Amino acid sequence: MYAINDEYAEFRKALADGKEIESKVDHFAGGSSSDEKRPWKLDTSNKFVHDPKYYRIKPDKPEFKVGDWIVIKDKPYKIVTVYGPSSGDLYGKVAYANPVTKGAVLVDISSIKLWEPQPDEWCWFWDDVDDSALVLEKYIDLTNTGLYKTDGYNWGKCEPFIGELPTYVKG
């Protein structure tokens, strides 16, 4: 047995792991063509003859939901829309609120990760039980019961401090 370690190796490994490949390649009798403007479609040909940018591993079901905080270039943003399977070309993308333009920015879920507070990061904290108790403190750690630990208390909810009141207060 031997392994081919070329620019398509990740796609062959994904297939071997039971994942599906999508492409922007149109297969037709006698050949194929690729175009960046084509939508992502399931590709069962298992032929990788075009530039790797025309192939991707089909994204798993989105793990993101509206209201989640994500990190892009080390900055937290709040998701305002998640595009599911019935969204056509937008499937596998989310939109987040841009605080500067007050608009939404579209990104592929493969390029983002969920925000998690880091030790000594300033965050808003409040309780699941009493939403009226709101504090701005530095995050310390997560307790073994899943609460957010600060110097003063363990909290049920946490949101990054971005220079504004937390979104649940602003509405």
Q: Cα(73)–Cα(61) distance, rounded to whole angstroms?
A: 23
Residues 6+ apart with CB under 8 A from 109: 59, 62, 63, 64, 92, 93, 94
In eight-state DSSP terms, residue 130 is -
All structural domains of the chain with their residue ranges: 9-57, 69-114, 122-170
| Token reading at 93 | 């993308």
pLDDT digits (tens, 9 = 90+) for 41-89: 888 888 888 888 888 888 766 578 899 999 988 889 999 999 887 888 8
- Which comes out higher in pLDDT, residue 71 or 99? 71
